[in-house]
Amino acid sequence: MRFRKLKKKTKKKTTSSEASKNIRYANSIDKIKAFITDMFMIYAPILYIIAYLVLDGKEAFQASQTAPLLGVSVYGLIYAVLLSKFGQTPGKKAYTIKVVDDKTLENISFLRALLRFVMFLFSATILLGLFTGMYRKDKKSLHDIICHTVEIEVENKIV
């Protein structure tokens, strides 16, 4: 038997459980678009509410050191609730992306989603963590590697 044919047979035998489930990993462009959509749909209204309803306006918001921290904290809590309950935020839903456990492909817990958000902030701070997804086959960023999650493409089901 030729080496080429033997190699093809061994590849077929050693397929992982992920390949048998037909997982399609979300691409980086859709992840970025989903992130920007979430910033406009969730984070911007939070900042508006803090600046104009809680504080006295833009100047008070800019002078405050706790207002941006409060905004990021509220956004992180909303983000974690949406990921733990649905596996998607509005931006991820628009681009048919779902965040799931990398082994079971089930939704993650609230605490794990919150940890993923904190690790995302860390990844975004050092920038290297966000670029790791561009060099991996499974397209996992640093926060996904740490939290054992993966962003996959799902079918768009119209109900």
Tens digits of residue pLDDT in 116-148: 999 999 998 988 888 888 888 888 899 999 999
Tens digits of residue pLDDT in 73-98: 999 999 999 999 999 999 999 999 99
CA–CA separation, 36 and 97 (whole Å): 14
* Total structural domains within the chain: 1
C-beta neighbour count of 148 within 10 angstroms = 14
CA–CA separation, 56 and 46 (whole Å): 15
Residue 121 is part of which domain span? 25-153
Cβ neighbors of 31 (< 8 A, separation 6 or more) are 95, 97, 133, 151
Residue 15 has what pLDDT? Answer: 46
Residues of the chain with pLDDT > 90, as a percent, come to: 53
Residue 61 has what pLDDT? Answer: 87
pTM tops 0.85? no
Residue 4 lies in a domain: no
Residue 80 lies in a domain: yes
Residue 12 lies in a domain: no
Residue 144 lies in a domain: yes
pLDDT score of 7 more than 70: no
C-beta neighbour count of 97 within 10 angstroms = 22
pLDDT score of 13 more than 70: no
Residue 65 lies in a domain: yes
Residue 7 lies in a domain: no
